[in-house]
Amino acid sequence: MFNRPRGTEDILPNVSHVWQNVENSFHNICQNFGYKEIRTPLFERTEVFLRGIGNNADIVQKEMYTFLDKGQRSMTLKPEGTASIVRCYIENNMQYDAKSNKLYYITPCYRYERPQIGRLREFHQFGVENLGSEQAICDSEVISLSYFFLESLGIKNLILLINSIGCENCRDVYKIKLKDYFGKYIDNLCSNCKTRINKNPMRILDCKKCFENLNREIIDNSPKMIKNLCEDCLFHFENVKKNLENIGVKYQIDSKIVRGLDYYTRTVFEIICDIEEIKFSICGGGRYNGLVKELGGNSTCGMGFGIGIERLIHVLYKQNIVILEEKTPLLFVIGMNDLEIMAAQKVVYACRLNGIFAEMDLMNRSVKVQMKYANKIGSKFVMVIGKKEIESNKVKIKNMKTKNENEIVLNFANIKDDVYKILKMIV
């Protein structure tokens, strides 16, 4: 007997309909916002992520699934979606197509980390990327899309947190201030942040271990990026806030949001909600103005977000949000022997070709067992075809809820022409 690898999950038929309905909701809202779906390979050359995410990120240092292929080329399973999208954008010259700058994706991703609720080694992600615009209204559109999507699912107590981490110029000055500030408390930093303080001290701000080790006042009193923004970055952030207010999206400013990937610039955001008195992050994203150039393209601005689907579905269950129930058959057709089974098959396929979910038994079980099965799977109507029905061209359709039966004349020799009689009765 084999077990699934640690950190992976089987999505079973009794829950797959939840995934499908959530995915369909994401497809619909993205298309309403004018975004088009894009699909990229499951793995890329490792350099795509080394250059895109940055060598200092935890993902690159500790979490990537990297291997040599038979040509001794270094390949990596996709740990996140954005770098792959940008590689595709550059390679296919999409910057020259005005219709290809608003993109969304649904993809599996892989990170080697300790499995926990809503965070697996194989996980799935919704994502949106808007490439080409440096305007603040682009930021607000991407943020609002993620917020409206989560809101449309019925998730309660959503909180949008935003921040600006500036551009390279103002951020470099800010990092020096942070390094000097946290240098006074270096003995209280976790082992990771003792390294980060020299490479990327901003990550200390969102480190849970350091938040526990340090007095909260020490974190709260640390220098704030938002007070160290250059004039252009401050102007951009003020406009992001105005645009969100203009469309009625409420937000809170949180100076501790810095995101974990090196490519982020200016606007960053997270959307959280309360799950059993715990602040649970279900969406994160931001602007990445230098990523396209870093991966070999022309200087192009970008803005996007990612939502972990497993985490999202965990929230739906925890908040007792009812996603559309599993689809059940409208009609179950029962045949008694070979001749009647052939007739049942014709009825079922005629219904299916007309867009009706119809089912029949494929295991040669008794009529009694088939009737029980039809009831178990929630079929709304049942039709039983026997010798008498074939000879008389008359058949009864039973409503499983009311137990009422209605008889119709049905030409079994030419079901396709008579299927409308069935549809009229059950639809």
Tokens of 14: 């009794």
User: Is the predicted pLDDT of residue 261 greater than 70, yes or no?
Assistant: no
Q: Report the candidate in 225, 283, 230 with the shortest Cα–Cα distance to residue 255.
A: 225
Q: Report CA 78 to chain centroid distance, whole Å.
A: 15
Helix (H) or strand (E) holding 103: strand 102-110
3-state secondary structure of 135: coil
User: Is the predicted pLDDT of residue 210 greater than 90, yes or no?
Assistant: no
Nearest-angstrom CA–CA distance, 116 and 103: 30
Label residue 55 by pLDDT band (50, 70, 90): low
Nearest-angstrom CA–CA distance, 262 and 198: 14
Q: Where are the alpha helices (DSSP H) in 200-230?
A: 208-213, 216-220
pLDDT in tens, 280-311: 899 999 999 989 999 999 999 999 999 999 99
3-state secondary structure of 366: coil
Class of domain 331-426: alpha beta
Nearest-angstrom CA–CA distance, 170 and 404: 75
Nearest-angstrom CA–CA distance, 190 and 31: 44
Instruction: State the DSSP string of 245-314.
Output: HHTT---EE-TT---S-TT-EEEEEEEEEEETTEEEEEEEEEE-TTHHHHTTS----EEEEEEEHHHHHH
pLDDT in tens, 340-356: 999 999 999 999 999 99
Query: Order of strands across the sheet with 405-409?
Result: 358-360, 331-335, 381-385, 394-399, 405-409
Label residue 260 by pLDDT band (50, 70, 90): low
Nearest-angstrom CA–CA distance, 121 and 79: 9
Q: Report the candidate in 377, 118, 155, 143 with the shortest Cα–Cα distance to residue 246.
A: 143
What does the pLDDT read at residue 56? Answer: 64
Which residues in 202-242 belong to E strands, given as ranges?
A: none
pLDDT in tens, 326-382: 889 999 999 989 999 999 999 999 999 999 999 999 999 999 999 999 999 999 999
Mean pLDDT of 241-259: 92
pLDDT in tens, 57-103: 677 778 999 999 999 999 999 999 999 999 999 999 998 887 779 99
288, 168 contact by CB (below 8 A): no
User: Is the predicted pLDDT of residue 115 greater than 70, yes or no?
Assistant: yes
pLDDT in tens, 120-152: 999 999 999 999 999 999 999 999 999 999 999
State residue 324 phi and psi, 5-degree precision: -45, 135
* CA quadruple 78, 79, 80, 86: dihedral sign: negative
Class of domain 13-167+230-318: alpha beta
User: Is the predicted pLDDT of residue 276 greater than 80, yes or no?
Assistant: no
Domain boundaries, the chain: 13-167+230-318, 331-426
- Average pLDDT along the chain: 91
75, 68 contact by CB (below 8 A): yes
What does the pLDDT read at residue 336? Answer: 85
What does the pLDDT read at residue 135? Answer: 96
